[in-house]
Structure 1
Amino acid sequence: MNAHEGPAGRDLPTGYLLLHEGPDGEEVVWARCAMAQGLFAPPRTPRDLVRLLGCDPRGRLREALDPAGPHPVGDLSVEVDGGWGEDPHWVLLDGVRLLGRRPDPAEPHLWEVFLEADVVGCDRPPRHPPGPGARFAVHPRHGRDDGSRTPCRRVDGLYTYDPPPAPPLRLLGCASTAELREALRRPRRMRGFRGWLRALDRDGRVLRDVDLESETVRTGPSVLGGTLLDIVLEDGADDRPDPSARPVWELWHRGVPREAGLWRALPAPARREWLRLAMANRTPPPGRRAGPFRVDGRAATDEPGLYCALSEAVAGPGRYYGWNLDALDDCLRGGFGPAPPFTLVWEHLEESRRSLPGLADAALEVLRERGAEVLER
């Protein structure tokens, strides 16, 4: 692993590279740093309350509201046409749980539905809140057109998530480059920073890149002494790993995991980070893995768990074989592991279907469309 001179001439391992984009789009290293403090995001606030008003439930949402036999809601997407002449945008809801329903006060033939969910993202944040002419529709996140598009008069709670402010990101024990020293001589260059932090494992292999954007950058003598600098980015990064992913980083820092099942006890955000690290380290596994491959549906209790299970079954422990339906489709075309034809045995499939309504069957459809033989157990 690369090292740089630390206090009293001792070599410090380079754990991180601070990079930005040069004038021709090339990667430019600003500093090689030993440690990072404040890298993980602060914990999320409590889950969000989302209210559907004037709702005409269709498909899976209608089934979920059936008091005689409620079904899991699954992850949802909300299509919003804001009524201001802008293109529609989408808001993503994860881990949706039904809290209750009642006839809509304004339109008793329709429903008012209360959901608990993580509002995890918006593909294009609107410039204005939805206006009087806004239109809303709720879709299941996964699966093809199954008649589940549910129109609503209004959806409340989509834009209320206010994440706690991220702590400053402190890079400790940094050996500066000529590019950084030139920037320090011209303070205007230090008024802001847009680039990325590249985390390395103990052998110098890339773990993954964390996007950074900060309006305020400070530098000063390092607490590690010598001629090193500490660099502080006050505004941090939206791309920081979830705090539950800390043990995942600690494990992967020792190298790509080769033991099966290490991800199974992790919560969903940490499983998602596992997939990000696997994707950043994606390489074709050595040799041809012979099937049949076996997926344990009991471990696919959430969306990232499904792709962790598929990746491990088909490509091997610590390997990558997709982290969403489009990525799975790409992997099935070859390059990141076995390409069809092969046989995959999906054990405890009904448990996957109960945990992942729509998604498990959508993944089955993609696998079969690309030539995989999937046996249901």
Structure 2
Amino acid sequence: MRYLLVREDIHGEEEDVLWGRCAEVEGLFMDPPPLPREVLTLRGCPRESLLVQAVAAGTEQVRLLGDGMLSIEPTDPSKDGPPRFWDLEDTAVLAQWPTPGDPGRVDVVVGTGVREDDYLGSKRLPSSPRFDLWFPSIGGDSQSGGCRSIDGLFTPRPQRPTQPVNLIGCEPAAPLQALLCRPLPQEGDPITLWRLDRHGRTMTGYRLDLNIVEARPSVLGGALIDLTITDPGDDRPTLAARAVWEIWSDGVPTRPNQWAQFDAEGRSEWLDLTRVGPYGPQGLSGGTYHLDGQHVTDRTGLLLALGEALLGPGANYGRDLDSVQDYLCGGPSVVPPFTLVWHHADIARRALAGHILHHLGASYFEETVNLLREYGVTVVLQ
């Protein structure tokens, strides 16, 4: 059995409940189809924001901002509810002009794919909203800017066709058996699908709604059953995750650079499976560590190589520069001062030269080196 079905108590008030086990899950891995393209007008963006500065600095007619996020923050959550969030996919700037009547602001027109949040409350715009924007390509992990309003955001969007998932070779526990005694289709509780490695260790988890539309004797025989559940959502593990999960199913990797064979998407999935640690009361300082930079050709590769250099395969020393900074202040078992010898550093320097963190005026490679040195690491570039 490679998967557990677990009803987790997200509030921490009760124990997690096992709903069943299953041998395989068919249809879980799927690359989401691209979102339909839409045109949005960001009204009243401050000229001093990173967004406007980056757009104004562009020499091309269309500036690519890439993937980002939008949040609408209510001034008074007691009246208008919690913040709402949207994903903006593959965003490109189409035009810009000064905001009429306000020389300190700019209107920016973008083409993008919009994924709405799943907030179940009122879709009404808050009475005094604040629109905040994040684009890692220009702001790293920091906010890129904001605007006063957005034309075209609140429009009906078509529903995507569902893509069911099949749970193969299920061994139901009592809660799942009780659910199956009712007529189908049947709506179940939110369930976490835990993927196990061959040692029984939990590798990762994926949340889904156990909405069952069909139950039948399993193709694996015996007393097992197969279940078909409705589309569990847009955030399924990608196709790139399948090969990564298979490597990790043999246990936590023990050889360095196993992630190097994968593209950026596969490396991101690899990083998701890593664990930080171990933790120590004070952390170990001193000593010399060697970073193998032969495969550091993107941001994720840099983080993976750094984690392996300091903590070994299967661990990470931060999933972004903000968490690297946190760990440098204490936590994982390696803390400054220590020496990091970065071999083949020019590979990362060249590969990340175009990944400029505009709020810092440095490339991702340069900022990583600067951050390490600022917190007491002696970085030797070779």
Partner letter of residue 5 of structure 2? Answer: L
Q: Is 1:291 the equivalent of 2:288?
A: yes
1:41 to 2, 15, 30: 30
Contact persistence 2:73–2:83 (CA under 8 A): yes
CA distance in 2, matches of 1:179, 1:356: 51
Contact persistence 1:293–1:345 (CA under 8 A): yes
Q: Is 1:32 the equivalent of 2:24?
A: no
Report how far residue 209 of structure 1 moved: 1.1
Paired positions, count? 358
CA pair 164-226 structure 1, distance change in 2 beyond 3 A: same
Report how far residue 350 of structure 1 moved: 6.8
Q: Deviations over 1:68-120 (max 9, x none)?
A: 59997576554434677445545454665x44324268569554434455657
Partner residue of 1:17?
4
| Normalised TM-score (structure 1) | 0.73
Report how far residue 315 of structure 1 moved: 2.3
CA distance in 1, matches of 2:160, 2:130: 30
CA distance in 1, matches of 2:253, 2:263: 18
Partner residue of 1:168?
164
Contact persistence 2:291–2:305 (CA under 8 A): no
Partner letter of residue 202 of structure 2? Answer: V
Contact persistence 1:54–1:107 (CA under 8 A): no
Report how far residue 224 of structure 1 moved: 1.5
Report how far residue 329 of structure 1 moved: 4.2
| Normalised TM-score (structure 2) | 0.72
Stretches of structure 1 lacking an aligned partner (at least 5 in a row): 1-13
- 1:211-226 alignment to 2 at 5 Å? 211-216=207-212, 218-226=214-222
Partner residue of 1:273?
269
- 1:1-377 alignment to 2 at 5 Å? 14-21=1-8, 25-46=14-35, 48-49=37-38, 50-61=40-51, 62-68=53-59, 73=65, 76-81=68-73, 85-86=80-81, 88-91=83-86, 93=88, 96=91, 98-103=92-97, 111-115=106-110, 127-130=122-125, 134-139=129-134, 141=136, 142=139, 149-154=145-150, 156-157=152-153, 164-185=160-181, 191-216=187-212, 218-237=214-233, 239-264=235-260, 266-279=262-275, 282=276, 284=278, 290-294=287-291, 296=293, 299=296, 301-302=298-299, 304-332=300-328, 336-344=332-340, 347=345, 348-349=348-349, 351-352=351-352, 354-357=354-357, 358=359, 360=364, 367=372, 370-374=375-379
Q: Which moved more, 1:150-159 or 1:29-38?
A: 150-159
Contact persistence 2:288–2:341 (CA under 8 A): no
Partner letter of residue 6 of structure 2? Answer: L
CA pair 356-125 structure 1, distance change in 2 beyond 3 A: farther
CA distance in 2, matches of 1:305, 1:47: 30
Q: Which moved more, 1:100-109 or 1:31-40?
A: 100-109
Report how far residue 37 of structure 1 moved: 0.8
Report how far residue 263 of structure 1 moved: 3.0
SS of 1:250 mapped into structure 2: helix
Partner letter of residue 43 of structure 1? Answer: P
Report how far residue 241 of structure 1 moved: 0.6
Report how far residue 132 of structure 1 moved: 7.7
Contact persistence 2:43–2:147 (CA under 8 A): no
Report how far residue 199 of structure 1 moved: 0.9
Partner letter of residue 278 of structure 2? Answer: P
Report how far residue 40 of structure 1 moved: 1.4
SS of 2:220 mapped into structure 1: coil
Partner letter of residue 2 of structure 2? Answer: G
CA distance in 1, matches of 2:340, 2:41: 40
Give the alignment's Cα RMSD to 1 decimal. 4.4
Contact persistence 1:42–1:166 (CA under 8 A): no
CA distance in 1, matches of 2:34, 2:220: 34
Partner letter of residue 176 of structure 1? Answer: P
Partner letter of residue 4 of structure 2? Answer: L
Contact persistence 2:340–2:378 (CA under 8 A): yes
CA distance in 2, matches of 1:186, 1:120: 34
CA pair 91-374 structure 1, distance change in 2 beyond 3 A: farther
Partner letter of residue 355 of structure 2? Answer: S
CA pair 125-370 structure 1, distance change in 2 beyond 3 A: farther
CA distance in 1, matches of 2:374, 2:116: 29
